[in-house]
């Protein structure tokens, strides 16, 4: 019989058996080594990173893995544009790289960051927002995808800005502030500038990644303890899934939705987790 683990007196919405290992890369060649970021391409393949700067592609059925490129650094968050080009935040190089699967080219789009952590691309492929993780410190950068020029878009302190998600109406960014244990919202004003930060919800855990559904639900993957929260304006905050043994879900970083399921990278192990029927 499945159980619903509890945390701080709260019972998880989903039972433990709703979380499965989607792809186990501990013994594969190449090995999936402690992935941090993940994103899906148009074909349903899962793109994820590795601890040596790798960009991997796992096929849409979760059966095989291939190495697309490597920076020789440490891959954090990933994003993909309408053309299928992949963007990688790299901790070691303090840079954002762009990889084009069409021709195999890998180039630095922008550099000079302290700790570029997570990228979000606007729907028109004009700009990319990049969180720069400091504790505390500014902030969020905005890059031009055309030429890589960047500006410090949000120049006020954030407490380790981490995963981000664009609001449904594109009117702002949700930001996980890991060591403040909160999710914040920063409006995008009509002239493109950043508005004032406000707290959306406070947590009892360390939030890392965010994913927003088309229904306005925000999924929050927490690095410690290993759990997923779900939040919306109407339902508030819910403990969606929790793994007290940190095995199936092991220090999840970023997360992504596909066909009603939630996928997470696990920095603590060598696999990708799939949590079934979260929508």
Which tens digit of pLDDT belongs to each residue from 139-161? Answer: 999 999 999 999 999 999 999 99
Per-position b or e across 6-18, b if 16+ CB within 10 A of its CB = ebeebebbbebeb
pLDDT at position 131 = 98
- Residue 104 CB-density burial (10 A; 0-12 exposed, 13-18 middle, 19+ buried): exposed
**Is residue 108 pLDDT above 60, yes or no?**
yes
pLDDT of residue 23: 98
pLDDT band at 270; cut points 50, 70, 90: very high
Say if pTM beats, i.e. exceeds, 0.85. Answer: yes
What domains appear along the chain, each with residue ranges and CATH number? 12-275 (2.120.10.30)
Has residue 5 got a pLDDT over 90? yes
Q: Which residue has the higher pLDDT, 64 or 215?
A: 64
* pLDDT tens per residue across span 51-80: 999 999 999 999 999 999 999 999 999 999
pLDDT tier for residue 1 given thresholds of 50, 70 and 90: very low
Mean pLDDT for the stretch of residues 193-221: 97
Residue among 148, 98, 108 nearest 127 (CA):
148
Average pLDDT rounded to a whole number, residues 202-214: 97
């Amino acid at each position: 019989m499945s159980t619903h683990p509890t945390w701080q007196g709260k019972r998880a919405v989903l039972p433990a058996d709703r979380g499965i290992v989607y792809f186990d890369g501990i013994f594969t060649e190449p090995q999936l080594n402690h992935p941090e970021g993940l994103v899906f391409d148009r074909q349903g393949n899962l793109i994820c990173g590795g601890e040596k700067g790798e960009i991997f592609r796992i096929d849409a059925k979760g059966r095989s893995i291939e190495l697309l490129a490597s920076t020789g650094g440490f891959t954090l968050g990933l994003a993909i544009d309408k053309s299928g080009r992949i963007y990688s935040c790299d901790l070691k190089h303090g840079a954002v790289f762009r990889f084009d699967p069409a021709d195999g080219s890998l180039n630095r789009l922008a550099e000079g960051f302290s700790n570029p952590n997570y990228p979000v691309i606007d729907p028109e492929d004009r700009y990319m927002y990049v969180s720069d993780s400091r504790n505390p410190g500014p902030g969020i950068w905005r890059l031009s995808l055309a030429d890589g020029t960047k500006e410090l878009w949000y120049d006020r302190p954030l407490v380790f800005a981490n995963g981000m998600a664009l609001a449904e109406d594109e009117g702002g960014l949700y930001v996980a502030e890991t060591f403040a244990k909160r999710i914040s919202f920063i409006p995008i004003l009509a002239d493109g500038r950043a508005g004032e930060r406000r707290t959306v919800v406070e947590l009892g855990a360390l939030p890392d990644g965010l994913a927003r559904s088309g229904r306005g639900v925000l999924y929050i993957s927490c690095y410690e303890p290993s759990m997923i929260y779900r939040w919306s304006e109407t339902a508030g905050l819910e403990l969606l899934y929790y793994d007290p043994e940190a095995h199936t879900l092991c220090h999840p970083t970023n997360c992504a939705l596909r066909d009603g399921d939630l996928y997470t990278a696990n920095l603590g192990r060598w696999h990708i987790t799939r949590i079934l029927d979260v929508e």
